[in-house]
Structure 1
Amino acid sequence: MENISQTENQIQCVTNFQDFVSASFHGNINTICWSRKLVGDFSEIVKQLELNENIAELHPNDLLELQLSEQGQLAREILLKDLKTLKDLGASPTLNLIKFYDRDVSYPFFPTDVYSFHVDRSPIPIDTFLCTYYGESTEILPNSQATQKILVPEIRDELKKIYHGTEEDFESFLSENFFDLHYLAKPKAQPIKLGLGNLYRLAIEHPKSKVLPCLHRAPKEKNGQTRLLLIC
């Protein structure tokens, strides 16, 4: 994991799954990391799977049908185990092959796609789980190093230009269109790459949350390199 010294007050690292799911967010800690060094060749799995779309969900049967080397089999076992473990926990994990995500071009001054630093929101207390096995990894940003975009005067003025309702409903408009979930990195902000193989829990925005939600974004993919990502 890169730049860990800059995130000691944001990320709590653990060494096993039980601690991973039982650790509580508190204070500035809004990210739990199960730090792992995975064995196996995940690139072999990625190269064998044909991707005709920008994003494709992989199911256990897709993985079981592959003819793999010993190292590829080790990687497959990890993927299958992670999926099962999270399902047994009550989560709904998806394993995705990603060329790239669609860009939001609705409002050029305010894209709301996943390449923008954002937080996840839910009406119930759940967490976001994710792990990158191959390709560029997800990035997070300390909350102190970003500003909610709707609070930036220039951006707020532009949003008011596309809004046609009453002044008292403006905040509802921002929420309904997810503008309030996105953040602008401050000058000299230092995003942290989460690295490969580590399993993460990210705090999200919900009514009972005791911590700030984790700011995160999808990385810009390298040309021709597909990502292999588990998320729920």
Structure 2
Amino acid sequence: MVDPSHTGKHIQYVTNFQDFVSAPFKGDINAICWTRTLRGDFSEIVKQVALTGNITEIGPEEICDLPLSEQGQLAREILLNDLKILNAHGASPIINVVKCYDRDDTYPFFPTDVYSFHVDRSPIPVDTILCTYYGAPSEILPNTQGQKKILIPEIRDRLRKLYQGADDDFESFLSEHFFDLHYQAMPDAHPISLGLGNMWRLAVDHPESLVPACIHRAPDEKGLHRLLMIC
């Protein structure tokens, strides 16, 4: 469950799928959480999947074919049902077993991988939906507790030195390399764990968005493979 002592005003909590998909982002609300306590042993599924790399996608047929105990079967039913209801809603969910994500060391002073606090961007109206069933969950950061990295003077100065083009195109350079999507947590920031089993909708930066995009990051896996649904 989500620790209520670390929740923010930008989160709306719901108790069913219909409210989850229909609750609007408005005002300060840019994250919707369907709080759930799930039954079953999701670690069984992780252990049974044959990994093909750092991120292994598993489809419904493969999930159905896994030899599982009774507790594993309960977990499987939840995964399949989540896929079913999200597909029926028009989303395109995928289930991944994540060993780790690629690290970005192109610019050591400014990594742009998913372990950095960032927002998602899309040219069309869309939300990010995710649920961690096993392993370390993702984190979100209240927008009031994060600062856009490109606005931090010392970082901006280093980016200008890196940039070789005309001044008028500097902002385009920042966008093209995704620098403008990343945030630095303030010293007194309190990141919020998304918890296990909860399904989340996060606001995305798109032309029709009425709220700031939700700042989030992937966790340190701490040696555990994650079982993650995302769309």
The two structures have a TM-score, normalised by structure 2, of: 0.98
DSSP-derived class of the 1:170 partner: helix
Give the alignment of 1:8-27 within 5 angstroms: 8-27=8-27
Q: Specify every segment of 5 or more residues in structure 2 that has no aligned partner in the other structure, as ranges.
A: none
How far apart are 1:94 and its partner, in Å? 1.1
8 Å CA contact 1:37–1:198 kept in 2: the answer is yes
Deviation string, structure 1 residues 128-162 (Cα, Å, up to 9, x no partner):
00000000000000001010000001111111111
8 Å CA contact 2:8–2:142 kept in 1: the answer is no
DSSP-derived class of the 1:169 partner: helix
8 Å CA contact 1:7–1:142 kept in 2: the answer is no
DSSP-derived class of the 2:12 partner: strand
Q: List structure 1 segments (4+ residues) > 2 angstroms apart after TM superposition.
A: 1-8
8 Å CA contact 1:146–1:185 kept in 2: the answer is yes
Counterpart CA distance in 1 for 2:130 and 2:217 is 12
How far apart are 1:7 and its partner, in Å? 2.5
Q: What is residue 85 of structure 2 aligned with on the other side?
A: 85
Counterpart CA distance in 2 for 1:226 and 1:137 is 11
Deviation string, structure 1 residues 105-135 (Cα, Å, up to 9, x no partner):
1000000000000000111111000000000
**Pairs aligned (count):** 231
Counterpart CA distance in 1 for 2:23 and 2:5 is 20
How far apart are 1:8 and its partner, in Å? 3.8
How far apart are 1:56 and its partner, in Å? 0.6
How far apart are 1:10 and its partner, in Å? 1.2
The two structures have a TM-score, normalised by structure 1, of: 0.97
Give the alignment of 1:27-38 within 5 angstroms: 27-38=27-38
How far apart are 1:2 and its partner, in Å? 3.8
Q: What is residue 61 of structure 2 aligned with on the other side?
A: 61
- Range with greater deviation from structure 2 (71-80 or 1-10): 1-10
RMSD: 1.0
Give the alignment of 1:47-126 within 5 angstroms: 47-126=47-126
Q: What is residue 209 of structure 1 aligned with on the other side?
A: 209
Alignment-mate amino acid for residue 227 of structure 1: R
Q: Specify every segment of 5 or more residues in structure 1 that has no aligned partner in the other structure, as ranges.
A: none
